[in-house]
Structure 1
């Protein structure tokens, strides 16, 4: 068995915890202290987040898409593969080191996505980006933390509470979609989406093709 190699540690802004980048052969893991947040072998549900969202905006000639959280880049790569050449994609990542890792040891996972002319990278809290302008986005994709039941930052609760969902709805154009990834189902969150004025679809997906853990994606359309 190849042992894990600790490549780097990065503090989470405003929080006591830190992220660790680990490598074992060609496999990468990003961990919160000792809890694994993501693994390069398990990209299926992150890719599904992008693919399902792109399907919802296929009728838009030049869609504007916001991705909250870069992670290992799987959502961004899948979105670029699905979206037209006229699309514009903004990625908001609050931990600068994650982007450094993407351009360094994880460059093979990133591919050419960060250099794509459609992409803008913001080293910023997606909460702040969402609240900058009303009716700015055709799709907002949130792959932040562990989903509504967060682990990494207490401040991430601001994305998923009633006020946060109201801000996301206001930031969407009419007919836009808020897509949220989660490691676990959350009935209370489903109810909050409906109460915030969204038409909600909850989809179960696998972390690795037809195998792996079951994750959840909410597609919440602005009515």
Structure 2
């Protein structure tokens, strides 16, 4: 078996953690310490995050979408394949190196999606971007950290707090959709979504789609 090779490291702004990009043959992994955050062979649940959201946007003219977290680009790629030509997608990525990796060693994984004319890359905190907007998006997709129970950045907790969810509600247009990826269920988070004014539905998906893998959760929350 081929050995893993570490290609790069990147600090997480405002935190002590360090992300590591590793490669083994055509496979890539982004690690936080001993924990694998994402792997290029496992894309099913990230793609589902976009697919479910785009289904809710069907028929809307010039839909606007905010994706929190670039990662390995699976959510972005799935969204672009389903959205119309007049859509606008903003991707907020906190760690600049993750964008550099997408254009560099992982360019084949991202397949040119960052150069799509519908896409704008925002290097910065998605929470701050959400708080700065009012009725700006038809959909907000959050694949930040490990979900509501974060691992990489303590300040991510505010994104999933009642205050953070109310900010997302304000940033959405009428009938807007908030979609949240998580590695595990969280009943308290479902209650917070409803308290923030969303009609929430919890969907269970597999990390590698129909091929199985770990069980992940996606919340689809419609603005009431």
| TM-score, length of structure 2 as denominator length | 0.99
Residue 79 of structure 1: aligned partner: 79
The runs of at least 4 aligned residues of structure 1 exceeding 2 Å deviation read none
Deviations 1:38-70 (A, max 9, x none): 000100000000000001111211100000000
Residue 120 of structure 1: aligned partner: 120
CA distance in 2 between counterparts of 1:3 and 1:39 reads 15
CA distance in 1 between counterparts of 2:130 and 2:164 reads 9
Asked if 1:37 is matched to 2:37, the reply is: yes
Give the number of equivalent residue pairs.
223
Unpaired runs of at least 5, structure 1 = none
Residue 215 of structure 2: aligned partner: 214
Residue 48 of structure 1: aligned partner: 48
Deviation of 1:133 (Å)? 1.6
CA distance in 1 between counterparts of 2:194 and 2:51 reads 23
Secondary structure at the counterpart of residue 177 of structure 2: strand
CA distance in 2 between counterparts of 1:202 and 1:48 reads 13
Deviation of 1:34 (Å)? 1.4
Deviations 1:79-99 (A, max 9, x none): 000000010000000100000
Residue 20 of structure 2: aligned partner: 20
CA distance in 2 between counterparts of 1:8 and 1:180 reads 28
Deviations 1:13-37 (A, max 9, x none): 0000110001111110001111100
Residue 133 of structure 1: aligned partner: 133
Query: What does residue range 83-102 of structure 1 map to in structure 2 within 5 Å?
Result: 83-102=83-102
Residue 163 of structure 2: aligned partner: 163
| TM-score, length of structure 1 as denominator length | 0.99
CA distance in 2 between counterparts of 1:133 and 1:167 reads 8
Unpaired runs of at least 5, structure 2 = none
Secondary structure at the counterpart of residue 177 of structure 1: strand
CA-based RMSD: 0.6
Secondary structure at the counterpart of residue 7 of structure 1: strand
